[in-house]
């Protein structure tokens, strides 16, 4: 007789702590996909059951709960993590126990694990495009400001290398603030920016303090038309915390809520019916959503979530995601995605000003990237 036992999957995001706004959205994207999978008959008739823990935006808690999921709840697959420090905390555990982590967040690249599937953007899918866009439109003197942990350090290194390929370029300054920085903590940063007058600011500030940076910038009367902030992490979720201070600033990401495709619009409608109107879909929500379907499709093909049999079914698989048709690259476990640049508008959404018309292959070690990695351009920019 066919096995009808439920299948448990670990779900590890942060409902509390400094990255809880984005973490909640990742959880909701995951739960939406799980609902859809179960409504469509489950995994060959087996219900998919999330085992969720709140990792409190704290890497040590991620590690403890990942081990609990593996050893006590006996899951083979974990969907989770936002900050790279949390992925770095979970990585040795999924490797040690030979389990699988699906990681739905843009990150700094320069990593590979047989036990991770990376569904957010690698630097050749967001940093290269942002560097090109900002330097072409505003100039090549960059001020780097980030939260104090691994993703900002590494992402700033990559951005510096890209920008410094340009003529008349300069790294004006590179500063870090605590993950729980307040608006006051940004006052000296903003003073320095006003004095140094960079052409643009690259922000790798994550979580709640992102809103503090943009508010401090706006309160100081600085002008995004002449000295904008460009970011890879400021999504609709962070913008929703800023009360208008994000308007006119840029983000490079494979997904924005404003993508006008039927797949996206239908997904957003189902999402709002399930979770209400005040949720904030964003690039990490979308990756959390589509990677759950990637997992489910592979499970059905493998008949198991044993990583040894599941991973070969994941690699090379494709899916119509809200951003477009994605593919898991079989050589490096990252995902073919669609680079886009958006500018924050008065509705708290992103107006998409540039977009690739076909997926860009992930190149997490930045081996073959170059400036001008756009597959095609949507339109010329009108600011």
Q: Is the dihedral of CA 302, 306, 309, 311 positive or negative?
A: positive
Q: CB nearest ligand ACM: which residue?
A: 151
- Given the complex with ligand ACM, which of 84 and 119 has the nearer CB atom? 84
Q: Per DSSP, what are the bridge partners of residue 342?
A: 251, 352
Any alpha helices (H) in 115-261, and if so which ranges? 123-138, 150-163, 187-196, 209-219, 236-239
Secondary structure (DSSP) of 44-71: TTBPEEEEEEE-TT-HHHHHHHHHHHHH
Q: Which two tokens stand for residue 361?
A: 């292959």
Whether 179 and 149 have beta carbons less than 8 Å apart is answered as yes
* Contact status: 83 vs ligand ACM (CB under 6 A): yes
Tell me the window of 56-64, 101-109, 180-188, 369-377 that interacts with ligand ACM (CB under 6 A).
101-109
Of 49-57, 102-110, 252-260, 268-276, the segment contacting ligand ACM by CB under 6 A is: 102-110
Residue 101: both structure tokens together: 């982590």
Q: Select 109 or 198, whichever has its Cβ closest to ligand ACM.
A: 109
Q: Taking each helix axis from N to C terminus, what angle separates 84-96 and 150-163, rounded to the nearest 10 degrees?
A: 110
Q: How far is the CB of 82 from ligand ACM (least distance, A)?
A: 6
Between 234 and 264, name the residue whose CB sits nearer to ligand ACM: 234
Nearer to ligand ACM, 76 or 252 (CB): 252
Q: What is the rounded CA–CA span in Å between residue 337 and residue 54?
A: 28
Residues 116 to 175 in contact with ligand ACM, rule: CB under 6 A: 151
**Residue 84 or 156 having the CB closest to ligand ACM:** 84
Three-state secondary structure call for residue 362: coil
- Tokens matching residue 287: 């990756």
Q: State the residue for tokens 């979970």.
A: 90
| 54 or 306: CB nearest ligand ACM | 54
Nearer to ligand ACM, 105 or 252 (CB): 105
Q: Which is nearer to ligand ACM, 88 or 166 (CB)?
A: 88
Site string for ligand ACM, 194-223 (x = CB under 6 A): ------------x-----------------
Nearest by Cα to 28 from 270, 238, 289: 289
DSSP string computed for 305-353: --HHHHHHHHTT-EEEETTEEEEE-TTTS-EEB--EEEEE-TTSSEEEE
Q: Which stretch binds ligand ACM (CB under 6 A): 100-108, 137-145, 245-253, 350-358?
A: 100-108
**Residue 84 binds ligand ACM, judged by CB under 6 A:** yes
Site string for ligand ACM, 48-67 (x = CB under 6 A): --------------------
In the region spanning residues 104 to 123, those forming contacts with ligand ACM, defined by CB under 6 A, are 105-107
Span of 7-15, 103-111, 261-269, 288-296 interacting with ligand ACM by CB under 6 A: 103-111
Which residues lie near ligand ACM (CB under 6 A)?
83-84, 105-107, 151, 206, 233
């Amino acid at each position: 007789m066919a096995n009808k036992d439920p299948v448990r999957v670990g779900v590890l995001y942060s409902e509390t702590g400094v990255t809880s706004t984005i973490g909640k959205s990742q959880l909701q994207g995951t739960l939406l996909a799980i609902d859809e999978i179960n409504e469509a008959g489950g995994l060959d008739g087996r219900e998919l059951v999330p085992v969720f823990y709140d990792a409190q935006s704290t890497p040590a808690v991620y590690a403890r709960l990942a081990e609990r999921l593996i050893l006590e709840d006996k899951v083979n697959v974990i969907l989770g993590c936002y900050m790279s420090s949390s992925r770095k905390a979970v990585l040795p555990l999924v490797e040690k126990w030979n389990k699988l982590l699906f990681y739905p967040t843009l990150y700094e690249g320069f990593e590979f694990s047989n036990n991770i599937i990376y569904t957010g953007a690698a630097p050749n899918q967001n940093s290269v495009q942002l560097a090109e866009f900002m330097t072409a439109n505003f100039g090549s003197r960059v001020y780097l400001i980030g939260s104090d942990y691994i993703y900002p350090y590494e992402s700033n290194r990559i951005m510096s290398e890209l920008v410094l390929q340009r003529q008349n370029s300069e790294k004006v300054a590179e500063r870090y603030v605590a993950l729980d920085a307040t608006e006051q903590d940004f006052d000296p940063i903003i003073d320095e920016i006003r004095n140094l007058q960079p052409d643009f600011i690259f922000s790798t500030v994550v979580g709640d303090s992102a809103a503090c940076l943009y508010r401090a910038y706006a309160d100081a009367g600085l002008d995004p038309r002449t000295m904008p902030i460009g970011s890879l992490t400021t999504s609709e979720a962070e913008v929703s915390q800023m009360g208008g201070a994000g308007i006119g600033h840029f983000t490079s990401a494979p997904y924005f809520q404003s993508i006008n495709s039927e797949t996206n619009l239908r997904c957003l409608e189902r999402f709002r019916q399930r979770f209400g109107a005040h949720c904030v879909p964003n690039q990490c929500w979308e990756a959390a959503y589509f990677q759950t379907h990637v997992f489910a499709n592979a499970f059905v093909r493998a008949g198991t979530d044993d990583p040894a049999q599941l991973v070969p079914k994941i690699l090379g698989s494709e899916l119509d995601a809200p951003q477009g048709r994605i593919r898991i690259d079989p050589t490096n476990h990252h995902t073919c995605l669609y680079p886009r640049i958006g500018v924050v508008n008065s509705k708290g959404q992103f107006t998409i000003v540039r977009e690739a018309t076909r997926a860009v292959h992930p190149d997490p070690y930045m081996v073959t990237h170059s400036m001008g990695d756009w597959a095609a351009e949507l339109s010329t920019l009108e600011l």
